Chains A and B, each alone.
Chain A
Amino acid sequence: MTQITSDSGGLEFVAGGGLLSRRLLLKSTLVGTGAIAASLTAPTRAAAEADIPEWVTVSGERARGYGMPAESEAQIQRAIIEPWQDVAAAFSLSGTPHHRLRGTITPSGLHFEVHHGGRPDVDPARHRLMIHGLVDYPLKFDLNALERYPMVTATHFLECAGNSLFNAIMPEPMQAGCDMLHGLLSNSEWTGVPLSVLMDEAGVNPEGKWVVAVGSDGPALARSIPIEKIMEDGILALYQNGERIRPEQGYPMRLLLPGFEGNMNVKWLTSLWVTDAPAYTKHESGEYTEILADGSSVKFTFALGVKSFITHPSATMTMTGPGFYEISGLAWSGAGRVDRVEVSADGGQSWAEAALEGPVRSRALTRFRLPWRWDGSPLVLMSRATDETGAVQPARSEWKARYHPSNFLHYNAIQPWQITAEGAVQNVYI
């Protein structure tokens, strides 16, 4: 045992509301953790006859070509959001059910979607990527050619600039799960060709300062991207979590710009047009600009701010009685690595530092966790992330004060969850 303080029953409390030391998560205290867990659960398992389930009495199913989740997990789905229903069905979104997932990699079939004109049916044999404009050699690449290029693999989150929009603009907190509240966020291992290699082959002219990226979807979505970002860490992603990119994520190829708002990571990428200036496409003129509190606006707000939320427990869940729990959640920053995550179980009066599950990668989701003993009384849980640049996640009131009331983009405020005496977990504003 390596207990340091004996506050209550040998548990080391580190902040209000029952937060326990993250040292309990270390291997050296596994014995102690086991003892705690045992002391918190009633060991009243009644003796019963051994259950011999039928699946141990028969031969199983044969191998299959492509595996699927267990049938019992079929209800684990993305939350579909169609703001204008059938009137404009092609404008549709779906959110990752973070409250049903663990770890940090989002299963490809549960990666969020935001489609401004629906998911196109792209024929990979006819698809081409063109690099043209202010280059020495305008070039086109097909998928077979790109397969021969050197490929890098990197884990990065993608987040829609409008993620968490309901918390940003709803006057009263919406009661919904993390799929609706924070689901326009996912994290994948991406593999593809460094864009610098392809741009160097085309030979970018000195006056080429921006790249207009265009997708081959119905509206041919276009965004202007600084050449510096393309050359620094831009990836032409062909693979997602080891397999070819899913149609929802841009099959057969997409742009990946680590840390930049989702809309810029153009799906079904077909054109990189090198220019001397931004084109002021519709999405960087209207949709993805933000009006500030004083009526002026900000444009070319590319990187996403530091952010976190607790996934376990989270809204729509019900606690299963007082006792030991592990608080678990996700943290990330478009500016680099997560430096630390603090958790509060008393509405922000006291905070304790959570353990980060390594490796902590730059511009990727990081899982944090902290042991907790809930005594059954009402309280508010929340998490607050700090990134390697020193940026700290703001409170909602602080975030709201910076923007016009209508703004719902780049919302990165702290997410408080109210735990009621009945064990209901609810979305609240503090």
Chain B
Amino acid sequence: MSTFKFAVGLTFLFATAVHAEGPGLGQPVSANEIPFYATYVMPDGRGLPEGGGTAAEGAEIYAAQCTSCHGETGTEGPVMPPVWPNELWPKSVGKHWPYATTLFDYIRRAMPLNDPKSLSDDEVYALAAFILARNGIIDEGLAMTAKTLPTVEMPNRDNFIDVWATQGEKPW
């Protein structure tokens, strides 16, 4: 009898401790239920898939899938931001973005605008290689993979002030 009471009391304590303010109705979610776009490739490369691609392969994909928005050369648009620098929009990938991993993740989840998530991982690697090579950041022949992409040194990386870290919620 006392054991039963103790068990009931323990269950109650556990429930109130874990779900103090809510009914505790969340259901367990397993790793295979979580789509790739619910995470993000991190700057150190965590989350990059297998596969790879080169600038030459990327050039063909770019010509077929990207020019209607970003233009034949990538500088003229009409849609901004450009994939390599122009004077109108200085925050292009090559000139501005601090990490190359962002390029892979964004293309994979969001591009092309009218058919997002349609490109294969190899195609996304190839497009990342093409854009980085056209920006003069990597050699034309260097394939982008889970190993090489996080090692790309983006020229503007150390040119940022982290406002959250330095002053929190206070507006800049």
Which of A's residues lie within 8 Å of B, judged by CB? 84, 87-88, 90-91, 116-117, 128, 130-133, 137-141, 145-146, 148-150, 193-194, 196-198, 200-203, 212, 214, 218-222, 224, 226, 229, 259, 270-271, 273, 275, 277, 279-282, 285-287, 289-292, 295-306, 334-335, 389, 391, 404, 406, 410
Contacts and interface: CB of A to CB of B under 8 A. Distances in A.
B129 to A, nearest CB: 18
A259 B120 CA distance: 38
Nearest to B44: A277
B38 A406 contact: no
Given A220-B110, A304-B171, A406-B90, A214 B38 contact: yes
Contacts of B169: 229, 259, 302-303, 334-335
Contacts of B106: 281-282
A132 B26 CA distance: 11
B64 interface: no
Q: Which 7 A-B pairs have the closest CB atoms?
A: A139-B26, A219-B110, A271-B38, A279-B40, A300-B164, A145-B25, A282-B106
Contacts of B110: 116-117, 218-221, 282
A369 to B, nearest CB: 25
B116 interface: yes
A209 to B, nearest CB: 11
B18 interface: yes
A201 B101 contact: no
Contact of B162 (A300, A305, A404): A300
B21 A148 contact: no
Interface string B27-51: 1111101100111111100000000
Given A201-B19, A214-B38, A286-B92, 11 more contacts: A130-B29, A132-B29, A133-B39, A138-B29, A149-B25, A229-B169, A280-B99, A281-B40, A281-B105, A296-B161, A298-B163
Given A117-B116, A299-B162, A404-B90, A88 B39 contact: no
A282 B33 contact: no
B136 interface: no
B22 A150 contact: yes
Given A335-B169, A406-B89, A139 B29 contact: yes
B75 interface: no
Contacts of A279: 40-43, 105
Contact of B22 (A84, A149, A292, A301): A149
A91 B116 CA distance: 13
Contact of A139 (B28, B42, B77, B117): B28
A88 B98 contact: no
Nearest to B106: A282
A138 B164 CA distance: 27
A226 B172 CA distance: 17
Contacts of A146: 25
Contacts of A305: 171-172
A287 B91 contact: yes
B121 to A, nearest CB: 16
A130 B34 contact: yes
B170 interface: yes
Contacts of B111: 219
A285 B22 CA distance: 36
B102 interface: yes
A212 B39 CA distance: 7
B96 A132 contact: no
Contacts of B97: 280, 282, 285-286
Nearest to A333: B171
B2 interface: no
A305 B81 CA distance: 25
Contact of B79 (A88, A133, A218, A221): A88
Contacts of A133: 39
Contacts of B28: 137-140
Contact of B160 (A87, A299, A404, A406): A299
Contacts of A150: 21-22
A267 to B, nearest CB: 15
A145 B91 contact: no
Contacts of A290: 172
Interface string B45-73: 00000000000000000000000110000
Contact of A335 (B20, B79, B116, B171): B171
B114 interface: yes
B159 interface: yes
A146 B23 CA distance: 9
Nearest to B21: A197
A264 B171 CA distance: 15
A275 B26 contact: no
Nearest to B159: A296
30 contacts: A87-B68, A87-B69, A88-B69, A137-B28, A139-B26, A139-B28, A139-B29, A150-B22, A196-B21, A200-B18, A219-B109, A220-B109, A222-B109, A229-B169, A271-B37, A271-B38, A279-B40, A279-B41, A280-B43, A282-B106, A285-B102, A286-B96, A286-B97, A286-B102, A291-B96, A299-B161, A300-B163, A301-B163, A301-B172, A389-B170
